[in-house]
Chains A and B, each alone.
Chain A
């Protein structure tokens, strides 16, 4: 029987999983090699056209003097370097006096700036500083820690190449809309196509009402806005663990809201049980924390399992019983690849008689169409009051209008969208099987998952001591020796040591043997637990 670690034991050094807040910033939008050059050229050009149109709509006289050719930029100025962070204990430290000089910053800022950057962030940084490239940097770090989908960028490139011109002259683009004062929660035209996209992606004719959508600059602010709306400082959300590291930042950092994790175990294939939910709820109560809601991701991240109908009903029953909210983050809905069907919360709410006011769905385009910096977040809620508040709060995280225009055009091309979704799914499935198969050759088993472009691997056979410490040792070996960046389960608050999330969506097929070989090399130096 597997031991579980005590998640409240404080650790030192390389940053273990604790209940302290963690600053983990994803490094999204890294496009390497294929796609980067082309997209880097086409998209800004497309945006220039949109900018022109935007301005034409606002009117203006022509000036007489043509501008001269561009000159070179001025020389660099030198001011003090930004200081590096200090590594301290991973416990939350609040210094009453502050150490940053005369005027202090808030305790919020203080706490974060003293945090150790956990493995998740360290690994991502290393991958960016020393990225693998088949030709130019064959010894570089292979990135398996970023859930970004590069598998289908070529299709987006193709669309852009064919349609940029057309989109510009297209009559449907109403420029006068941009000239007037705009609401911050996104253009209605974009909401309409996003609603359509969501429906297509979920493979069911599920109707999403554009009027219930709030658009934000990515899923990160979408989650934070919902946290602000549904909970007060000192309240808590229940979150099944393991959960993705960014959630700590998105939910807790500025809101003052807590996360109480609901541990899921390998014995149950990491699926959520109502018993565990109940237990966590009562524990929270004992700690004096008022639970305001449950946050799930479906398909789940980092494990990749889908919630079936029964589980969703149980969740809703539980939420009704306790009179709390449910946030369902369905951002990986377009990356399902197994035999199980994906069921959205929207479908359940539609067909069953639950109180709609407690259900909120988060979605986003950054996973399914991983264009760097095109991440749009979606809050989809049935609750009028939440909708009204979220619309106003979107002013702090609005989407740029050129970006909106480009997406409106792209998502309106139904044929492209259909083809994209279908082929993307096939590629995700193929990569999943190839990757899992490759790991199997090393004796590494993965949880059977049906969604997301990552796998949840049991690498406990490779760790020396069956503990968080052992797991982190393996993580360091993987990163520094094998030059493979994977996310350790402890960063995801997993109660069982030895699990790692490996994202395969930034790889090409031929990279898989390279990864497998590198892991094999270090596994020979690992003592397996017998």
Chain B
């Protein structure tokens, strides 16, 4: 019998076969479970409620209403100069009006406490792209970024996959409300050094995902001091800056820089996006704001790989330049998020569950460590599984966020109606009751 010679299959790159995309982790597995059995008030009341997706649906009506009022005024008419701009822009620079609109919007969110120059705004198709782009620019393959834990699970993929850059975690824990300390930064830096890894920068998310809390001014100053002393970069992902519950508590790194007259600011870069604050993830609109000229120039060129259509830019520019609308939107959105937050905190407290004190974001950081059999990651995952399959809630386990304290979970509350949130809270309440009953009967 003839022996079959197996033809060698044509090979793929390491990037293609790597699992850095992380889609096999619990963070994403929960989403699959939701996709297979999604909750619907009428048609599937026992389905999985999605609480693992940080999306903002609480303020859509405001956007709808704006468009209804303004669709006639926009662009049908005789704004000839506007059209010329739209027609003649250089694509990777982005529309001047759109960059101006983003700069203004970012200023408004910060209550005018920091100024943004439209010429430093670089447009990308989403914050995911913005973070990856910055990583390509600030670090070489094999270098590292320091990121305080717990952090957004997507960073493992977005910052490392194609760039070849590593993440060295800066460990924060519940003993001080997960605040970032200079000691923790120093420890992470030294750890990297001991492994012969060159640290190129620190990346913070402010307000924090998954903590749902803003970073204190004094902490920001300490972080700035740290990066300056090590001569490295600082990336501040401020994607939730418009989702703080009150206007005053959020301090942007831009404000700290302005207060020190922009000294040493060329190492600082801010990432922003409209997906969270405006609830427009499908639009894929992100920006990089850098105080470093070289980074701005390079990022612009690199944005050729991740462009936003000029029509989307024009559409959003009109909206964001309407200050009355934006002022009202920001204020109302904040109020509604705060109300939601209160609702979920109260509901959880009634069930005997405490959360980290939060003041921003679309989620809360819930402490279920008292429920763990053992204070281990494995126990946490067992608990996560029962939340998913028994209680039918998709929440994100802290281990996906590299949290060093087991038992914490991120719970999103803005991507559903109040009714659905109530259902979720009831389910949790029943779950806790059952556990209490089990305990007393033992």
Q: Would A358 and B10 count as touching, CB distance under 8 A?
A: yes
Q: Is the CB of A23 within 8 A of B71?
A: no
Residues of chain B within 8 A of A69, CB atoms compared: 324
Flag whether B315 is at the interface (Cβ < 8 A).
Answer: yes
A32 CB–B CB distance under 8 Å: yes
- In contact, B282 and A54 (Cβ under 8 angstroms): yes
Assess A83 versus B282: contact at CB under 8 Å? Given A56-B64, A358-B10, A397-B129: no
Which of B136-144, B209-217, B339-347, B403-411 forms part of the interface with chain A? B136-144
Interface residues on A, range: 35 or more
Q: Encode A337-363 as 1/0 by CB contact (under 8 A) with B.
A: 000000000000000000101100000
- Cβ–Cβ < 8 Å partners of A78 in chain B: 117
**Closest chain A CB from B415 CB (angstroms):** 9
The docked-state distance in angstroms from the alpha carbon of A249 to that of B75 is 36
- Do the beta carbons of A375 and B307 come within 8 Å of each other? yes
Q: Would you call A170 an interface residue if the criterion is a C-beta within 8 Å of the partner chain's C-beta atoms?
A: no
B252 within 8 A of A: no
The listed residue (A37, A102, A178) touching B282 by CB distance below 8 A is A178
CB pair B13 A231 closer than 8 Å? yes
Closest A residue, CB atoms, query B15: A228
A402 at the binding interface (Cβ < 8 Å): yes
User: Does B308 touch A at the CB level, under 8 Å?
Assistant: yes
Q: Do A36 and B87 contact each other (CB < 8 Å), given the known contacts A65-B328, A109-B294?
A: yes
Q: How many Å lie between the Cα of A28 and that of B93 in the bound state?
A: 11
Name the interface residues of A212-264: CB closer than 8 Å to any CB of B: 217-218, 220-221, 224, 228-233, 235, 249, 253-256
The closest CB in chain B to the CB of A357 belongs to: B10
Contact B284 A398 (CB under 8 A): yes
A229 and B12 within 8 A (CB): yes
Which residues of B lie under 8 Å from residue A106 when comparing CB positions?
A: 136-140, 143, 200
Which segment, of B53-61, B184-192, B369-377, B378-386, faces chain A? B53-61
Q: At the interface with chain A, which of B297-305, B359-367, B421-429?
A: B297-305
Q: Are A28 and B91 neighbours in the complex by a CB distance under 8 Å?
A: yes
A188 within 8 A of B: no
Chain B residue numbers with a CB within 8 Å of A400 are 125, 282-285, 308-309, 312
Cross-chain contact B82 with A102 (CB below 8 angstroms):
no
For A38, the closest partner residue in chain B by CB is B83
A44 interface hit (Cβ, 8 Å): yes
The residue of chain A having its C-beta at the shortest distance from the C-beta of B279 within the complex is: A58
Selected contact of A40 from candidates B9, B75, B267, B323, CB within 8 Å: B75
A47 is an interface residue with CB less than 8 A from chain B: yes
Contact present for A62 and B311 (CB under 8 Å): no
List of A residues within 8 angstroms of B79 by Cβ: 41
Which residue of the partner chain, among B7, B294, B311, B323, contacts A44 with CB atoms under 8 Å?
A: B311
Inside 8 A of A42's CB, which chain B residues have their CB? Answer: 75
CB <8 Å contact, A103 and B232: yes
Q: Which of B307-332 contact A (CB under 8 A)?
A: 307-315, 318, 321-325, 328, 332
Tell which of B16-24, B168-176, B240-248, B349-357 binds the partner: B16-24
Q: In the bound complex, do residue B67 and residue A392 qualify as a contact, i.e. CB atoms below 8 Å apart?
A: no
- Whether a CB of chain B sits under 8 angstroms from the CB of A530 is no
Q: In the complex, are the beta carbons of B67 and A70 less than 8 A apart?
A: no
Hey, which chain A residues are within 8 Å of B139, CB to CB? 106
Residue pair A60, B307 in contact (C-beta under 8 Å): no
Q: Do B71 and A49 touch across chains, with their CB atoms under 8 A apart?
A: yes
Question: A232, B13: Cβ atoms under 8 Å?
Answer: yes
Closest Cβ neighbor of B67 among chain A residues? A52
Task: Tell me whether A96 is interfacial, beta carbon within 8 Å.
Answer: no
Q: In chain A, residues 347-393, which have Cβ atoms closer than 8 Å to a Cβ of chain B?
A: 355, 357-358, 372-375, 383, 385-386, 389, 392-393
When the two chains form their complex, are residues A217 and B311 in contact, meaning their CB atoms are under 8 A apart? Answer: no
Q: CB-nearest residue of chain B relative to A67?
A: B325
Q: Report Cα–Cα, A26/B301, bound state, in Å.
A: 10
Asked, given contacts A100-B266, A103-B232, A109-B295, whether A47 binds B315 with beta carbons under 8 Å apart, the answer is yes
Of B125, B139, B296, most buried by chain A (CB within 10 Å of CB) is B125
Asked if A82 CB lies within 8 Å of chain B CBs, one says yes
A–B pairs, 28, beta carbons within 8 Å: A35-B87, A40-B87, A45-B71, A51-B315, A62-B61, A63-B61, A79-B115, A85-B297, A103-B267, A105-B298, A106-B136, A109-B294, A181-B55, A182-B282, A229-B16, A232-B14, A355-B7, A372-B91, A372-B310, A373-B311, A374-B311, A389-B15, A396-B162, A398-B126, A400-B125, A400-B282, A400-B309, A401-B283
13 additional A-B pairs beyond A45-B76, A292-B11, beta carbons within 8 Å, are A25-B301, A41-B75, A41-B83, A60-B62, A61-B61, A63-B332, A67-B322, A73-B104, A103-B233, A105-B294, A385-B16, A386-B16, A396-B305
Residues of B within 8 A of A (CB): 7-17, 21, 23, 31, 53, 55, 57, 59-71, 74-77, 79-80, 82-84, 86-92, 100-101, 103-104, 107, 115-120, 125-126, 128-129, 132, 136-141, 143, 158, 161-162, 164, 200-201, 227-228, 231-233, 262, 264, 266-267, 279, 281-285, 292-298, 301-302, 304-315, 318, 321-325, 328, 332, 417
Enumerate chain A interface residues (CB-CB to B < 8 A): 23, 25-32, 35-37, 39-45, 47-49, 51-52, 54-56, 58-63, 65-71, 73-74, 76-83, 85, 100-103, 105-109, 112-113, 128, 131, 178, 181-182, 217-218, 220-221, 224, 228-233, 235, 249, 253-256, 292, 323-325, 355, 357-358, 372-375, 383, 385-386, 389, 392-393, 395-403, 406
